[in-house]
Structure 1
Amino acid sequence: MKNKWLSTNNSHLVNVQRLPNILSTIRLVLAPIFLILYVQDEVVWRALSVGIFAVAVVTDFFDGYLARLYSAQTAYGVFLDPLADKFLTFAGFICLPFIDATQFPWWAVGVIVLRDVVITGMRIIAERRNVSIKTRLTAKIKTMSQMFFLYLVLLVGVFVNTDVWLSSYCIQLLESGILGWLMIAIVVLTLYSGIEYIYVNINIFINKHDAKT
C-alpha cells in the first residue's frame, strides 16, 4: 500500500514538473494566433487577440514560478522558455507598425528581431557544445519592459478604433509621440542586452568549454 502511494505521489510530481514546459509550449502556440487576430480590421478580433496576449504573458510567469517551486528546471526548459518569449514578443512587435508605422517603424522591429535571432543562435551553438547560457538580469528586465510596453500599445491600438470613453485618451497618447520615444528606449535596451550577452559569452565562439554567466 505504501509503495502504491509513493508511486502515485511520484507520478503526480512528474506531471507537475512537466507543467513549465507545457506552459511554454502553449505560449508558442498562442503567439501566431494572437498575431493573426490582431492584424484583422474588425475591433472585436483585435480585442480578443489582446486577451490572448495577456494569457500568454501569464503563462510566462507561471512556467518560471513552477520550475523553481518544484525544481523542474531542465536544459530543454531553459532553452524553450526564452524561445517562447521571443515568439510572443516577435508577434507583438510585428503588430505595432499596423497601429502607427511612423512611431513604430519596421526598422526598429527588425533590430529587435535580429537581436533575438542572434542570441537564440548563440544558445543553439552553446547547447551543441553542452554549455548552458543563463538568462541575464538585463535580459529579464528587457523582456519585462517589452511585455509591458507591448500590452500598453496593443491596448491603445484597440481603443483608438472604438467609440468608448477611453478612446479619446488613447488617441491623445498616440498623437503625443510618447509611445514612439518609448519604442526607441525599448530598442536601445534590447540592443544593450544583446551586446552584453555577446560580450559575456564570446568564449563560446573561440572554442572554450564553458560560458560565463
Structure 2
Amino acid sequence: MKSLPNILSSLRIILAPIFLYLYLQGGLIWGGLSILIFTIAAITDYFDGHYARKYQVESSLGVFLDPLADKVLTFSAFIVLPFIDPSQFPWWAVILIIIRDVFMTGLRVYANKKDMQMKTRSFAKTKTTIQLTFLYIALFLGVFEGTGNILADWSEIILSTGVMFWLMMFVTFITVYSGIEYVFTNKKLFRNSASS
C-alpha cells in the first residue's frame, strides 16, 4: 500500500488539534486521553518512515508531508504549555520555537521546488528526542497539577522550583541552534537563491 506513509502523516495532522482541544479542557480524564492521542500520533511518525524506507515507497509528497506533520504535532504540544504555567513556559519561547520550525519547513519546500536535497544533521534527531522528552514531562505535570492527589503535589513542587523554566530555555536554545546549524549546512540553497 504505497499511500500508507502519507495516510499516517495525514492522521498525525488530524490528531494534533484533537489533542490540543482535549488537553485544554483540563482535568485528569481529558488530560490523560489527550496524552494518549499525542502518543498515538507520535508513534505514527515512526511507522510511516519505517514503512516508506522498508518498502521503498518514499514520494515527494511524503518527503514534505512527514516533517510537516511532525511540526504540527509538536506545535500543538508547545502551545498548551503556557496554559499550564506562563511563568515556566513563556509565550516568547514557544513563538521562537514555532518561527524556527516554520522557517525550516519553508526552506525544505524551497529546496524541493529547486530539486535540491537538504543536508540533514544527526543533531536534528537529538533535538527531536530532547523536545519530545521535555514535552511529555511538561504535559504530565500539567495534567496532574491541581487534581488533589499525591501526583498533583509532586507536580506543583516541581513547577514551583523553576526547573521547568530552565529546561524550557534549554529546549528553546537547542531548537534555535539546530536551525542555525541547518542554515550553515545548506548554504548552497541561499547562494543559488541569490544567483537565480
- What's the TM-score once normalised by structure 1's chain length? 0.85
Q: Does the aligned pair in 2 maintain the 1:32–1:91 contact within 8 Å?
A: yes
1:125 corresponds to 2:105: no
CA deviation map 1:40-64 (0-9, x unaligned): 2344222211111111111111112
Q: Does the aligned pair in 1 maintain the 2:22–2:31 contact within 8 Å?
A: yes
Residue 59 of structure 1 is matched in structure 2 by 44
CA deviation map 1:47-104 (0-9, x unaligned): 2111111111111111122222222222221221111110011100000000010010
The one-letter code matched in structure 2 to 1:38 is Y
Q: How many residues align?
A: 193
Residue 10 of structure 1 is matched in structure 2 by none
Alpha-carbon offset, residue 134 of structure 1: 4.4
Residue 175 of structure 2 is matched in structure 1 by 190
Q: Does the aligned pair in 2 maintain the 1:31–1:87 contact within 8 Å?
A: yes
Residue 87 of structure 2 is matched in structure 1 by 102
Question: Could you tell me how far apart the structure 2 residues matched to 1:188 and 1:113 are?
Answer: 13
1:158 corresponds to 2:143: yes
Residue 19 of structure 2 is matched in structure 1 by 34
* 1:6-17 equivalences in 2 (<5 Å): 15=1, 17=2
Identity of aligned residues (%): 50
Residue 178 of structure 1 is matched in structure 2 by 163
CA deviation map 1:167-200 (0-9, x unaligned): 2112111111111111111011101110011111
Find the structure with the greater CA-based Rg.
1
Residue 167 of structure 1 is matched in structure 2 by 152
1:146 to 127, 131, 150: 131
1:71 corresponds to 2:56: yes
Question: Could you tell me how far apart the structure 1 residues matched to 2:40 and 2:153 are?
Answer: 27
Question: Could you tell me how far apart the structure 1 residues matched to 2:119 and 2:52 are?
Answer: 15
The one-letter code matched in structure 2 to 1:146 is Q
Q: Secondary structure at the match of 1:130?
A: coil
Q: Does the aligned pair in 2 maintain the 1:43–1:161 contact within 8 Å?
A: no
Unpaired runs of 5+ residues, structure 1, are 1-14, 209-213
The one-letter code matched in structure 1 to 2:34 is S
The one-letter code matched in structure 2 to 1:143 is T
- What's the TM-score once normalised by structure 2's chain length? 0.92
CA deviation map 1:9-28 (0-9, x unaligned): xxxxxx1x322221111101
Unpaired runs of 5+ residues, structure 2, are none
Q: Secondary structure at the match of 1:23?
A: helix
Q: Which runs of 4+ in 1 moved over 4 A?
A: none
The one-letter code matched in structure 1 to 2:165 is G
Once the two structures are overlaid, the 10-residue window that deviates more, 60-69 or 151-160, is 60-69
